[in-house]
Amino acid sequence: MNMKSTIKKTILVVAFIAVVAGVFLLAQEKVTKDVTHCGLISIMAACVLIYFYNRYIYGAIEPCPPVKETGVEVKEFQARTKRLDEKVRKLTAELSAARLKLETEIANRPLDQRELQQRLKHLNCLYGLSKIVNRQEIPLKQIFQETISLIRDAFRYPNAMCVRITFDGIRYETDNFKKSESSRHTRIKAQAEDVGVIEVYHLAGTSKSGEDVFLKEENDLLNAVAEWLGSIAERKKAEEKLRLFQNLIERSNDCIFAVEPKWGRFLNVNNRACESLGYAQKELLNMMTIKDIEESLPDDDSWRKQVEQLKQKNDIVKESQYRRKDGTTFFVETSLKLVSQEKQDYIIAIARDITERKRAEATLKTAQEKLLETAREVGMAEVATGVLHNVGNVLNSVSVTAESIQKRVRNSKVSYLEDVVSLLDEHKDTLATFISTEERGRKLPAFLTNLSAELVEEQTRCLEALEALTKHVQHVGDIIQLQQSHSKTKGLTEPTSVAELVEDTIQINSEALTRNNVEVRREIAHHPTVLLDRHKVLQMLTNLISNAIYALSKSGRDDKVLKIRVGEPRDGYFRIDVCDNGIGIPKENLTRVFEHGFTTKKKGHGFGLHSTALSANELDGSIRVHSDGPGRGAVFTLELPFKTQEAAK
């Protein structure tokens, strides 16, 4: 029995020493590095173990022998109890002495203790913040609201502190918030940008002793909290954006698919795709592929070709048909885009139902065909109107020229020849005597000379007028011939001298220019022979010059000037400017002068400029107008392609 008891005691002593040593090491690691503090904690743990050993274990290990009625055994029991009491008193005295020694050391080093307590506050703050963050569903607002209390409690003087966090323009404050002179500020950053600030104010102001009320460790704590809040806010906002994005995708009117490129298998689909196709989401994701729903992809080979095309172009937009679960189909416009994520390729397919658009396009096509037929009929009427207008312009010149010829013939001095013949016939028998002796006879040779010169001049003027009249009549024929071939895509192009074309146009309008006392100025750059639809350009220039003459005739000016400029070719085009200093064009009419039926003339029809604009477009050219306002003239600019025979070859 003695041997067994000795073994038990040895085991208990070893366990006791191991526990005390373990408490010492644990205190040194978790609580403080101070050896004295750790020793005190170990002694306290030893006392507690001794107490529990004596109270609950000792009797179980070494039960007291039954008290016999002999005095020797009672004495032995009393002696043993006495020795145990003395041992406890001794240990208690030693523990008291150690405690007093430790208290003395702590009293001698109060600064270390305060630093330890303050450090513990900081750790509690960061620990509390981590507990808040680990709550998944907590919103940012609650995180900031709880953080301001944690920050305040972590400071050396929490009751004298107030805290405010400003984030994205929203402020979170403690109940006692009030600004003061003594404060600390720390910026909150997310992705290297300022997103907020932490402000801490000491409500009691500065210390009377001049000591800083804020510790350096507190500044470090604020920086750590600000960095943590920045990362938390960045993560929370990213989560909110992700939830918003997912919500938008789910609520989209388009079908959205995430597709695996190799086999075309669906990785994810939105609700709209499920509704449009008539499948549940699990059905689409359960080994179904995009080839199962798209009519234009009957097999794997078709899908591989499309993926290769997508890799080359990165995105594709195409029209196709999707097949629903019930077998019906509908038209879609699908946008396919190849994206890479973590070295893995994915395809995002966004399909829009265009069934209504297809139906509208079919309806529109039918309407366009009907409109085209109607436009053809209207165009024929418009062509006829243009013919009448242009022929009318030329016939006006024909009328003026014919009237001029008629006036010259009516006032001709040919009638004087009849008087001369009668006079000669009257003195035919004595003609020599009459011419040599009588006064009238002597004047007759001089009179015949002057009359001959005047008749020759009249003949020349009449021939010029008749030549102009012939040109006018020929131009009428050209216009009619031009309009007869109007239905062709392009008119007949022929080598044409721009300078000669301008002169022909001036000649056509020469009578009107002369009648209205208009001075014509030419600024024509040298051009090689160009390929033009000569008659169509002649018609356009005739309309422009005719309008300019009308504007000059209504201006009331004495210095009526019509200027025609032909500039150097530029960017494959050359310009013809028809300028006048006539009545000008109001600003509100500048955008309407080329409209069909718009005119400011009392007897106008509004066809000339409209027809000119159409002809310019048919020749791949353009026409525009500029005017500084009423009374300040106008400039019409005709721009036409510059094509030469050499270039055409």
Q: CB atoms < 10 A from the CB of 565, how many?
A: 17
Asked if 447 and 420 touch (Cβ cutoff 8 Å), the reply is: yes
**pLDDT of amino acid 60:** 47
Judged against a pLDDT cut of 90, whether residue 215 lies above it is answered with no
**pLDDT of amino acid 102:** 52
| Cβ neighbours for 71, distance < 8 A, ≥ 6 positions apart | none
Judged against a pLDDT cut of 80, whether residue 402 lies above it is answered with no
Average pLDDT of the chain is 76
**pLDDT of amino acid 199:** 92
What confidence tier does 623 reach under pLDDT thresholds 50, 70, 90?
very high
Side chain identity at residue 419, one-letter code = D
Min mean pLDDT across 249-258, 308-317, 374-383 is at 374-383
Interatomic CA distance for residues 81 and 87, integer angstroms: 10
The residue assigned the tokens 């024509």 is 524
The residue assigned the tokens 């470090």 is 220
Nearest partner of 165 among 229, 239, 237, judged by Cα:
229
pTM of the shown model: 0.36
Domain 115-242 has CATH 3.60.20.10: no
Phi first, then psi: what are they for 381, rounded to 5°? -65, -40
Q: Which helix (H) or strand (E) holds 625?
A: strand 622-626
Q: For the residues 342-362, what does the mean pLDDT come to?
A: 86
Judged against a pLDDT cut of 90, whether residue 345 lies above it is answered with no
Strand order in the sheet with 634-641: 519-524, 561-566, 573-580, 634-641, 622-626
Six-digit token pair at 94? 């030693």
What share of the chain has pLDDT > 90, as a percent?
A: 9
Side-chain-side CA neighbours of 561 within 13 Å: the count stands at 13
Rama region for 486: left / alpha / beta (φ>0; ψ in -120 to 50; rest): alpha
Tell me the pairing of strands 255-259 and 266-269: antiparallel
Q: For the residues 160-186, what does the mean pLDDT come to?
A: 88
Side chain identity at residue 384, one-letter code = A
Domain ranges of the chain: 2-108, 115-242, 252-353, 382-484, 494-648
Judged against a pLDDT cut of 70, whether residue 112 lies above it is answered with no
* Helix, coil or strand: residue 28: helix
**pLDDT of amino acid 627:** 92
Rama region for 193: left / alpha / beta (φ>0; ψ in -120 to 50; rest): beta
**pLDDT of amino acid 64:** 43
- In this predicted model, which residue has the larger pLDDT, 583 or 57? 583
What confidence tier does 419 reach under pLDDT thresholds 50, 70, 90?
confident
Q: For the residues 578-602, what does the mean pLDDT come to?
A: 86
Top-tier CATH class for 494-648: alpha beta
What share of the chain has pLDDT > 70, as a percent?
A: 74
Interatomic CA distance for residues 213 and 200, integer angstroms: 11
**pLDDT of amino acid 423:** 77
Dihedral (CA of 528, 530, 535, 536) sign: negative
Six-digit token pair at 196? 């907020």
Judged against a pLDDT cut of 60, whether residue 485 lies above it is answered with no
What confidence tier does 565 reach under pLDDT thresholds 50, 70, 90?
very high
Tell me the pairing of strands 561-566 and 519-524: parallel
Asked if 527 and 574 touch (Cβ cutoff 8 Å), the reply is: yes
115-242 matches 252-353 in fold: yes
What confidence tier does 490 reach under pLDDT thresholds 50, 70, 90?
very low
Alpha-carbon dihedral of residues 508, 510, 512, 516, nearest 10 degrees?
160
- The CATH fold assigned to 252-353 is Beta-Lactamase (3.30.450)
Question: Of the segments 80-84, 367-371, 579-583, which one has the largest average pLDDT value?
Answer: 579-583
Cβ-based burial of 283 (10 A; exposed 0-12, middle 13-18, buried ≥19): middle
What confidence tier does 77 reach under pLDDT thresholds 50, 70, 90?
very low
| Cβ neighbours for 397, distance < 8 A, ≥ 6 positions apart | 468, 472, 508, 509, 510, 511, 512
| Cβ neighbours for 147, distance < 8 A, ≥ 6 positions apart | 129, 132, 165, 172, 225, 229
| H, E, C per residue of 389-444 | HHHHHHHHHHHHHHHHHHHHHHCCCCHHHHHHHHHHHHCCCCHHHHHHHCHHHHHH
pLDDT digits (tens, 9 = 90+) for 439-470: 777 777 777 788 777 777 777 877 777 777 77
Nearest partner of 18 among 38, 37, 36, 45, judged by Cα:
45
- In this predicted model, which residue has the larger pLDDT, 268 or 99? 268
Six-digit token pair at 263? 């086999």
Six-digit token pair at 276? 């449009």
**Length of the chain in terms of residues written:** 649
531 pairs with which residues across the strands?
Answer: 495
Q: Which helix (H) or strand (E) holds 646?
A: helix 645-648
Q: CB atoms < 10 A from the CB of 525, how many?
A: 13
